[in-house]
């Protein structure tokens, strides 16, 4: 499976050279990951900087419109962050042929479908089409990264990645337990990846979330840097696994 521009070649990410810029980004990330914004004190603690330094950086970020100060002195994302979000989705957009293929899979199976691929050393969900069945599995959004060890699409991409890229990814991403069946040791994950290479597709059986089953197949016999995936409630996925895989392979070859 080839890697697109921006895929990891095993080299570590460079360390930030401008500390104030790195801290400002860390503040934005901390606020983005909070539910209702953060106070100056909470931000200083999360970013591990002094409160005075946090105050100056927050003042700059508010002035730039990427943060706002709300009730109770809590900082939240500003409207200009929307430009970043829209730009990210636009630039992350996969090849034009992928979106119709993903929609075709969702229409053919009634299940939520995805395309995923390598992006700047991460494994990202590139496009999503929601299914039409009355009961749907929880879905991940476009741009979702991380936890590749627990996702069918992620495991398929890892299985067929160059060894250096695979090792670099796994060194930087701990095998976090997300559900009772998550593979959390290298020995079990490596065995599963070897099995995936042999059979040519990947299954996530309640490894990402309880009650959720996902499956993924490669495009173009594994020569494409993208994979096609489907998620469904476990009971339906188990009952229809073979028919779903047959449909996925046919659509991926189209």
Superfamily holding 93-253:
GAF domain (3.30.450.40)
Place of tokens 């990264």: 145
Residues near 119 by beta carbon (within 8 Å), at least 6 away in sequence: 4, 6, 7, 92, 126, 145
pLDDT band, residue 5 (cuts 50/70/90): very low
Residue 150 contacts residue 182 (beta carbons within 8 Å): yes
pTM score? 0.69
Number of other CB atoms surrounding residue 94 within 10 Å: 20
pLDDT in tens, 161-195: 999 999 999 999 999 999 999 999 999 999 999 99
| CATH label, 19-84, candidates 1.10.10.10, 3.40.50.10490, 3.40.50.720, 3.30.450.40 | 1.10.10.10
Q: pLDDT per residue over 63-99, tens digit each?
A: 999 999 998 999 999 988 887 776 766 665 555 678 8
Indicate the domain borders of the chain: 19-84, 93-253
Angle between the N-to-C axes of helices 51-63 and 40-47, in degrees from 0 to 180, rounded to the nearest 10: 110
How many angstroms separate the CA atoms of 190 and 30, rounded? 33
């Amino acid at each position: 499976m080839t890697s697109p521009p921006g895929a990891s070649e095993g080299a570590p990410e460079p360390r930030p050279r401008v500390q104030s810029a790195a801290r400002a980004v860390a503040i934005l990330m901390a606020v983005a990951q909070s539910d209702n914004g953060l106070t100056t004190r909470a931000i200083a603690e999360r970013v591990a900087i002094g409160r005075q330094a946090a105050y100056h950086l927050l003042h700059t970020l508010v002035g730039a419109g990427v943060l706002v100060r709300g009730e109770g002195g809590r900082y939240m994302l500003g409207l200009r962050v929307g430009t970043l979000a829209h730009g990210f989705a636009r630039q992350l957009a996969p090849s034009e042929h992928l979106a119709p293929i993903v929609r075709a899979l969702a229409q053919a199976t009634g299940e939520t479908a995805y395309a995923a691929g390598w992006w700047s050393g991460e494994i990202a969900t590139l496009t999503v089409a929601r299914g039409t069945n009355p009961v749907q599995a929880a879905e991940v959004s476009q741009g979702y990264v991380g936890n590749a060890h627990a996702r069918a699409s992620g495991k398929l991409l890892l299985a067929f990645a160059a060894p250096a890229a695979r090792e670099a990814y796994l060194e930087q991403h701990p095998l976090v337990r997300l559900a009772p069946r998550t593979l959390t040791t290298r020995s079990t994950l490596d065995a599963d990846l070897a099995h995936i290479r042999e059979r040519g597709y990947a299954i996530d059986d309640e490894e990402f979330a309880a009650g959720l089953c996902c499956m993924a197949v490669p495009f173009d016999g594994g020569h494409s840097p993208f994979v096609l995936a489907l998620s469904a409630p476990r009971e339906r996925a188990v009952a229809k696994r073979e028919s779903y895989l047959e449909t996925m392979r046919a659509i991926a070859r189209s």
